[in-house]
Amino acid sequence: MRILIAEDEKDLNRLLKKRLEEHSYSVDACLDGEEALAFLEMTEYDAVILDIMMPKKDGLSVLRELRAKGSKVPVLLLTARSSVDDRVSGLDAGADDYLVKPFAFEELLARIRVMLRKNTAANDNVCQAADLTVCLDSHRVFRGDTEITLSSKEFAVLRYLILNQGIVLSREKIEQHIWNYDYYGGSNVVDVYIRYLRKKLDQNFEPKLIHTVRGAGYVLKAEV
């Protein structure tokens, strides 16, 4: 995921870049609005962090130019102003979110994750069960704001389960659909992958979503 930071406070700019890179984001950084627009002309970003008060061109002007060109890149505004009017101006200009300085870095991270997830969902075929979000085109999976990494085979099993949400699927059906060979009753490959998915998707989350139906198979559903 590639992020652009436009922030004229040099120390904060360096700190945000360093911390985001520590969380595996690819980050470009600049110090004024004109430079931000130049970066945006050259590179496609997954998200943009814009300070409102910048030299040469302020963040709101950059944002308005972006939206006027039809760009839908998610934008988070940073502002030292906490008034309702300032926040409304930012949102009306096309911002997806805003954060008032000073802020905790963990909150910035959480807001970036939410923006990226919403953007993915808007451009993807998405299935949901409780707080589980499965993006079928991009193969991204979330529980709440937490992104979960799956292997290609784990994703294939999850995809089959969520496309048949609420339906009990036998081991035979799952094995034939995913591995495309006959099920003779002796293989435990389905059980192994269900165990992998439960560890990643259910172990540290509520509600539990993958259920065993004794003698019948497995079902993905959010139990109330």
Q: What is the pTM of this model?
A: 0.58
* Alpha carbons 114 and 97: distance in angstroms, whole number: 10
Q: What CATH number corresponds to the domain at position 29?
A: 3.40.50.2300
Do 133 and 210 share a domain, yes or no?
yes
Three-state secondary-structure class, residue 101: coil
* Alpha carbons 33 and 80: distance in angstroms, whole number: 17
For 129, 134, 185, the CA distances from 216, given in Å and listed in that order, are 21, 25, 13
Do 73 and 94 share a domain, yes or no?
yes
Q: What is the pLDDT along the chain (224 residues), one digit of tens a residue?
A: 789 999 999 999 999 999 999 988 889 999 999 999 999 999 888 899 999 989 999 999 999 999 998 888 999 999 887 667 777 888 888 898 888 888 999 999 988 988 887 776 555 588 889 999 998 888 889 998 888 999 999 999 999 999 899 999 999 889 888 887 654 555 789 999 999 999 999 999 999 999 999 999 999 998 75
Three-state secondary-structure class, residue 20: helix
List of residues 6+ apart from 77 with CB closer than 8 A: 50, 51, 52, 59, 60, 63, 90, 95, 97, 98, 99
Do 138 and 195 share a domain, yes or no?
yes
Do 110 and 152 share a domain, yes or no?
no
- The predicted-structure confidence for 122-173, as pLDDT tens digits, reads as follows 555 888 899 999 988 888 899 988 889 999 999 999 999 998 999 999 998 8
Q: Which of 65, 90, 122 is the last residue of a domain?
A: 122
Q: What are phi and psi of 168, to 5 degrees?
A: -75, 125
Q: Which of 74, 91, 122 is the last residue of a domain?
A: 122
For 72, 87, 147, 184, 211, the CA distances from 153, given in Å and listed in that order, are 32, 44, 17, 20, 19
Per-position DSSP letters for 156-224, written without gaps between them: HHHHHHHHTTTS-B-HHHHHHHHH-S---S---HHHHHHHHHHHHHTTTSSS--EEEETTTEEEE----
Bridge partners of 4, per DSSP, are 28, 48
Q: What CATH number corresponds to the domain at position 136?
A: 1.10.10.10
Do 110 and 212 share a domain, yes or no?
no
